[in-house]
Chains A and B, each alone.
Chain A
Amino acid sequence: MNTVIFAVVVLAVLGAIFGLVLAIAAKVFAVEVDPREEAILGCLPGANCGGCGYPGCSGYAAAVVKGLAPVNACAAGGEAVAAQIGEIMGVSAGASVKQLAQVHCTGCGQNYKQYHYVGLHDCVAASKLPGGGDLGCSFGCLGLGSCEKACPFDAIHVIDGVAKVDEEKCKACGKCVDVCPRHIIALEPYKTKRHVTIPCSSHDKGVDARKVCDNGCIGCSLCAKNCPKEAITMVNNLAVIDYEKCIGCGICAQKCPRRLITVDGKVPEVKPAAPKAAPKAAPAAAKPAAPAAEAPKAEAAAQPKE
Chain B
Amino acid sequence: MDWTNLFTIALGAVLINNFIVSQFLGICPFMGVSKKIETASGMGLAVIFVMGLASAICWPINALILVPLKLTFMQTVTYILVIASLVQFIEMFLKKAMPALYEALGVYLPLITTNCAVLGVVLQNTQNSYSFIESVVYGVTGGVGFLLVIVIFASIRERMEFSECPKAFEGFPIALMSAGLVALAFMGFSGLKVFG
Contact = CB atoms under 8 A, between A and B. Distances in A.
A19 B61 CA distance: 16
Interface stretch (A22-30, A79-87, A180-188, A262-270): A22-30
Contact of A10 (B74, B82, B85, B96): B74
Interface stretch (B30-38, B87-95, B124-132, B152-160): B87-95
B168 interface: no
A3 B70 contact: yes
A3 B69 CA distance: 8
Which of A3, A11, A14, A15 has most chain B Cβ within 10 Å?
A: A14
B71 A21 contact: no
B50 to A, nearest CB: 15
B23 interface: no
B92 A29 contact: yes
B96 A29 contact: yes
A14 B81 contact: yes
Interface string B47-91: 000000000000001000110011100100110011001001100
A11 B78 contact: yes
Contact of B61 (A14, A15, A29): A14
Contacts of A117: none
Given A10-B65, A10-B66, A14-B78, A21 B95 contact: no
A10 B93 contact: no
Interface in A1-60: 3, 6-7, 10-11, 14-15, 18-19, 21-22, 25-26, 28-31
Contact of B89 (A14, A15, A22): A22
B93 A25 contact: yes
A6 B67 CA distance: 12
Q: How large is the interface on A (under 10, 10 to 19, 20 to 34, 35 or more residues)?
A: 10 to 19
Given A3-B71, A14-B61, A29-B93, A22 B81 contact: no
Interface in B115-142: none
B1 interface: no
Contacts of A3: 70-71
Contact of A6 (B69, B78, B81, B85): B69
A32 to B, nearest CB: 10
B97 interface: yes
B119 to A, nearest CB: 16
B99 to A, nearest CB: 8
A211 to B, nearest CB: 33
Contacts of B69: 6, 10
Nearest to B93: A29
Contact of B81 (A7, A15, A26): A15
A3 B85 CA distance: 25
Interface of A: 3, 6-7, 10-11, 14-15, 18-19, 21-22, 25-26, 28-31
